[in-house]
Amino acid sequence: MPLFDMPVDQLPTYTSSATEPTDFEGYWDETIAVARAFPLAASFTPTENLLTVIDSFDVTFAGFDGAPIKAWLHLPSNRIAGERLPVVVQFIGYSGGRGLIQQDTAWAQAGYAHFIMDTRGQGYGGLLGETADPHPSAGDVAYPGLMTRGVNSRESYYYRRVYVDAFRAIEAAQSHSEVDAAKVLVTGISQGGGLAIAAAGLTAGRLDGVIALMADVPFLQDFPRSIDIAPRGPYPEIASFLNRHRTSYDSVLDVLNYYDGVHFAGRCTVPALYSCAGMDDVCPPSTVYASFNNYGTATPQPPVKEMEYYRFNNHEGGQEHHRLRQLHYVADLLAG
Q: What is the secondary structure of 240-264 as a DSSP string? A: HHHHHSTT-HHHHHHHHTTS-HHHH
Active site residues: 190, 280, 315
Give the torsion through C-alpha atoms of 130, 136, 138, 139, to 10 deg: 130
Asked if residue 75 lies in contact with residue 49, where contact means CB atoms within 8 angstroms, the answer is no
295 is in an annotated binding site: no
Which residues in 77-87 are b (16+ Cβ under 10 Å) and which e? eebeeeebbbb
- Angstrom CA distances, 177 to 38, 85, 89, 329, stand at 21, 10, 16, 25
Q: Which amino acid is at 141?
A: V
Identify any residues that bridge with 186 across adjacent strands, giving them in sequence order: 89, 213
| DSSP β-bridge partners for residue 87 | 113, 184
How far apart, in Å, are the Cα atoms of 201 and each of 172, 183, 306, 317?
A: 17, 16, 17, 23
Beta strands per DSSP E along 280-319? 305-310
> Binding site membership: which residues?
94
Q: Which residues are annotated as a binding site for substrate?
A: 94
